[in-house]
Structure formats: structure tokens, C-alpha cells
Structure 1
């Protein structure tokens, strides 16, 4: 077949991806059930008061079965966050190349929240995921782990931004600085949201957008009012001799 004929021939759609077999679906259901039970127990009873045995018993499986799916309590506590962060990284890599780095991060996190609802809901109610977010913020051992994991994630994001912009992340400080500012906003808004009254995903999204939109003016602008006597750049008052 010559090139012209090939171009005119109808393109065949790629074959559909094979559906997971019965065994794989059963394993996924078991993992999802363990994850959902863990979140329910962590948010109702407390993370430190919940054991692996409690989680396994809630699903009707053995402790040994639990460890087939999760190395321990910490991993199951952050499993949903791992999934959300994976969606965020996918969104970030898909952002148009012309977007400035901070705008790409902003758009990626908004795209992530738009797309992740269905993925979260396939495992556990969205409300339960949000309650677990608050549990992490209010549990010292989980918060410490969350901050450590956030630092590791920041390095990953900075490397992706540097590659996106054609920079050497170890030679140019800008990727790490932008990611530090972005991650700081997420930490501040997460803490404020978890102690506020609007405990919905839309509430978290709205608060985050409002704070992200203030990053540029906050870093570059002057905060004091023109009449503030403490302003070092305020013009001196003119007095007659």
C-alpha cells in the first residue's frame, strides 16, 4: 500500500484495554474495603487508638491479609492523599508550556480537584476523605509525617518544573522557591480550612484560590498604607523654617 492509499484508509481504533480479571477485581475490592474501614476508624476513634487488627476485623479479614495490601497504618492513612497527589502530578505535566510556573501549579491543583472527585468517591465518600484530611491536621504524629512527605513531594515538583522550563534544579533556585511558596499556601489554607466552618471541598478550593492569587502581590507589593508613619519610604513631612 502506497503513502496516499494509507493516508486515505480509515484509521482503526486501538483495541480496548483488557478488563481486569475476576481475581484482580476481588483484590481491588478488598484493598478499597480496608482503606475505607481504616479511614472510618481513624476519623471516629482516632489514629493512635486504632490498630491494624481493628481495621482487618472491620472488613472480616486477617491481619496477614491487611499486610498484603499495606505495609502499615501510616501507609493506609495516606493512601488517599497519594492518589490525589498522583492526579496533581499528572495535571501539572499536562499544563501548556507557555504558562508561567506558578500559574501552572495553580491550574494543576484546580484541575486535580475537578478530576479527583470521581476517583475518591469510587473508594470512599468524599466527606470521609475530607474528615481524614482534618484528622491528619489535628493528629501530631500524622501531621509530622505529612510535613515530611510534603518536603519530599516539593523536591519532586521542583524537579518537574525545572525540566519543564529547561533549567538545572540544582543550579537555578527558582523552581524550589516557587514550589516552596506554592506549598506554603497549601499548608496555610489546609490548616485554616480544617478549623473553619465550611468543611467542603468547594470551601477548600475557594480558600486556596484566594490565597494563591495573593502570592504575587504579597511578595512584591508594599503592605503598609501610605499614611503609615512606620513606612521607611514615606516622604518626610515638610516644615516651614
Structure 2
């Protein structure tokens, strides 16, 4: 059972994260300082560093939360599902519950706006892509465990995750440049692009 001290620490972390995201999305990542984030919550800079290694970690914290939820969702998929279907269903059903997970910390609108900040800030985008590689490695191992294969000897788990990850990156980029910044829009694009994977890989693209 969570103690009062643990709940207080979680509230402080959530407050710092909300303040950071609000400042990053209104002032910009580069123009926001750790002192300003701490001041917004009326705590010291030292307190900020108890919860986050720096601005970069705070800026990516919501994406980390979403990624962790997705990995768990893949683990929980029925064992009978094929690997690509497990990934597909995990992400599609994840959009239905992500709002609740994010809303526990910040309004979903802020989470979605933070995507654009990451995409438009080179240092954050580089860190986001590096983290995606780590998540893909974790997902490949989850799939390998599900299917009873050796992830280091059988290339299929990594290939499946690489294809899936590429689709999600294309989806994120398209969504980030469209005008509709909503979970529904992101979910719709995800469905549309995942449905194109088979045809894109196996069919002739030239019109007859």
C-alpha cells in the first residue's frame, strides 16, 4: 500500500512535470530554465533534480509514460495473436486508454502539444529517437518471449518491431504537421497507416 510520503513525492513530481510541460509548450524548450520550472511549483532547484536528471528527462517523461504503457499492453495481449497483430491491437486499444493515463498527470492537450515541441527541438528529437531504439529492443524481446524464440538468433522479432516502429514514426510525423492535434486524429492515422503495411511491402505500386 502506498504511504503518505510516497503519495506526497508523486504529487511533487507530477506538479514539476506539469509545470515543465506548460513552460516548454508556451515558452519553448531552450528558453525554459530549471529554475523557472522549480519556481512555478515553489520548490528549490535541488528538489527538481531529486525527480529529474535535467530538462531533457522532464521533456520526455510523458512519452516515457506512454511507451511503458504500450510495452505492458503488448505483454498482456492474448498468446494466440500473431506478433504483428499483438502490436497493432496494443497500440490501437492503447489510444483508447492513454487519455486516462496521461490525464492523471497533465491534460491530454498538453501531452499532444509536447509532441510538436519534441519534433521541432533537435536535442529532444535526437533523445526521443535514441529512446525509441531502446523501446524497440524491449519490444523485440517481449515478442521473442511470447513466441518462444531466441531474439539474438531469430531475426523475426526485431524485423517485426522495426517495421512497426517505422510505421509509427511516419504516423507521428504526419500527425505533427496536420492541423488536428487530437487523440482521435492520431488513432485514425495509426489505423490507416498500419493497414497499408501489407500492400506497401507486397504489392506493385504502379497503377495499371
Q: How does 1:40-55 map to 2 (within 5 A)?
A: 40-55=22-37
Rounded to whole Å, the distance in 1 between the matches of 2:71 and 2:131 is: 15
Q: How does 1:19-58 map to 2 (within 5 A)?
A: 20-58=2-40
TM-score when scaled to structure 2?
0.97
Per the alignment, residue 202 of structure 1 pairs with: 184
Aligned residues: 208
User: 1:61: how far off?
Assistant: 0.4
Deviation track 1:95-148 (CA, whole Å, cap 9, x = no partner) reads: 111211111101011122222211211111000000001111111111111111
Per the alignment, residue 211 of structure 1 pairs with: 193
- Indicate whether 1:147 and 2:121 are aligned: no
Of 56, 65, 78, the match for 1:83: 65
- Indicate whether 1:177 and 2:159 are aligned: yes
Per the alignment, residue 98 of structure 1 pairs with: 80
Of 39, 48, 61, the match for 2:43: 61
Mean alpha-carbon deviation: is it higher for 206-215 or for 170-179?
A: 170-179
Structure 1: where are the runs of 5+ without partners? Answer: 1-17, 227-241
More helix by share: 2
User: 1:225: how far off?
Assistant: 2.0
Structure 2: where are the runs of 5+ without partners? Answer: none
Structure 1 outlier segments of 4+, above 4 Å: none
Rounded to whole Å, the distance in 1 between the matches of 2:151 and 2:3 is: 43
CA RMSD, Structure 1 to Structure 2 (Å): 1.0
* Greater C-alpha Rg: 1
